[in-house]
Amino acid sequence: MHIRQIYKDANALLEGHFLLASGNHSSYYLQSAKVLEYPKKASILTDALAKMIRDAGIEADTVCAPAIGGLLAGYELARSLDVRSIFVEKKEGGMELRRGFTVSKNEKIIICEDIITTGGSALKAAKAIEALGGEVVAFASLANRGFCKRVGGNDTAKAECALPQNVPLFALDDFSFKMYAPEECPQCKEGKTKAIKPGSQS
C-alpha cells in the first residue's frame, strides 16, 4: 500500500510554505483529517494498521484516542480490531476520561492517534489510562512524523520523542520533513511567499 500516495490523493499531504506549531517553517504539511474524510478509505488504512499490530502479537481489549485529533483514527482502528473504542479529552495539564467511559484494572489498551509528532498528547492519554489501572500495550498512528521510532521503520527516536521506549509504536509510514528556523527558511529567503499556519485552525 502506498501510504504517501493515499495522503496526496486525499489532499492530506500539502506542499507550500507553512508555519508549524513549533514555530519552524516547512514546505510540507500533513492535514491528517483529510485522509479520513471518506470512511471506506479510512477503514483501508486502519485495516492495514490493525494487521501490523496483530502480526506483532499485540492483543488489546480497547482502543483509546486523545480527542479531537485521534477520534476518527481510533474509532476506525477499534472497528478493524473488533474491540471497544473510547476517548480521553483535554483537561488542565493532561487528559481525562469523561462521558461515562470506564477502564477496568489491567485492561489492555492501545492509544491511537491520527499522527504522532512528538507524541505529547498520546503520552497524556496513556497516563490517564494508567491512572485508572489500564495497561497501555501499544501506541498506534496512521502517520509518524519521524521523531519517534515506529515498529519496522528506519528512523531512530529523536530527543523530542515523548513516548516511552518500552511500548511499541505502530504507524503506516514515516513522514519526516525538513524544517527550518524562520531566519534559515529557503522560501522566506526567496521572499515570494509568507509562511501560512495550516492545521486545525484553517
Supply the minimum distance, in Å, between the C-beta of residue 191 and Zn ion: 10
Q: Which residue is nearest to Zn ion (CB)?
A: 185
Supply the minimum distance, in Å, between the C-beta of residue 24 and Zn ion: 9
Contact residues for Zn ion, defined by CB under 5 A: 25, 185, 187-188, 195
Is the CB of 68 or the CB of 181 nearer to Zn ion? 181
Is the CB of 98 or the CB of 197 nearer to Zn ion? 197
Supply the minimum distance, in Å, between the C-beta of residue 186 and Zn ion: 8
Is the CB of 162 or the CB of 188 nearer to Zn ion? 188
Supply the minimum distance, in Å, between the C-beta of residue 159 and Zn ion: 24
Is the CB of 25 or the CB of 145 nearer to Zn ion? 25
Is the CB of 92 or the CB of 190 nearer to Zn ion? 190
Largest CA distance in the chain: 57
Supply the minimum distance, in Å, between the C-beta of residue 74 and Zn ion: 33
